[in-house]
């Protein structure tokens, strides 16, 4: 059965390019992104890993660790890192999980038999400090991810975890947000003393807290 939002992200022990880890202990008290690749030494994956490494400072600012995975052995990961640095101009600066027995891939439902029973699809799991799955995205093997979108979603998840708001379509950090319907007007006045714009009783637009 596939992981659902709100499920505890399965813990596991694995070898990585930065040494063995126990996943929950490695995450610590912050956020995490676990993402999988179909195979080492493939073109789309090479561009993705370069971009993820380039954006690592942005993940760091959000107290979010990133870690990759494929079903290839550790030695291949290390050799591939040289290709990534050569072609993308960026050294891989986060761990890559070696999962040749597909143990972790199967725990997280990263292998889809109808796509290719031997390869992981491009799965993304955003995991909160409570070790619960906050977001899942699954791409086909042929389509590269948009890491700016992953950062945008993390911004939304972190904001909405701390304030009684939701983020509207195409929201980005600093844009107006929506007061959640479960918050009454009386309670909203305490949290948003500067007021808001009511478009409908269920659609109350307010400045982003902390922006």
Task: Indicate which residues carry an active-site annotation.
Answer: 45
Beta bridge partners of 132: 8
Strands (E), 59-194: 64-70, 96-98, 122-127, 133-139, 165-166, 177-179
For the record, the structure tokens of 87 come out as 């072609």
Q: Which residues contact 34 (CB under 8 A, 6 or more apart)?
A: 9, 67, 68, 69, 108, 123, 124, 125, 127
Alpha-carbon Rg of the chain, whole angstroms?
A: 19
**C-alpha to C-alpha distance for 85 and 166, rounded to whole angstroms:** 39
């Amino acid at each position: 059965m596939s992981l659902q939002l709100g499920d505890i992200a399965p813990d596991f022990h694995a070898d990585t390019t930065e040494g063995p880890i126990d996943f929950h202990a490695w995450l610590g008290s912050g956020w995490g992104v676990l993402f999988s690749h179909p195979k080492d030494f493939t073109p789309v994956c090479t561009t993705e890993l370069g971009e993820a490494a380039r954006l690592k400072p942005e993940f760091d600012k959000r107290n979010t660790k990133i870690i990759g995975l494929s079903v290839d052995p550790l030695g291949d990961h290390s050799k591939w890192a040289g290709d990534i640095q050569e072609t993308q101009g960026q050294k891989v600066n986060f761990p890559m999980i070696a999962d040749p027995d597909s143990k972790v891939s199967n725990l997280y439902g990263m292998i889809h038999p109808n796509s290719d029973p031997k390869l992981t699809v491009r799965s993304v799991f955003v995991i909160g400090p409570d070790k619960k799955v906050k977001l899942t995205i699954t791409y086909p093997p042929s389509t590269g991810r948009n890491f700016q979108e992953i950062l945008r979603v993390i911004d939304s998840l972190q904001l909405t975890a701390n304030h009684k708001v939701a983020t509207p379509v195409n929201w980005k950090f600093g844009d107006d947000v929506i007061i959640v319907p479960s918050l009454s007007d009386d309670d909203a006045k305490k949290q948003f003393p500067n007021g808001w714009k009511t478009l409908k009783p269920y659609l109350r637009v307010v400045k982003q807290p902390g922006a």
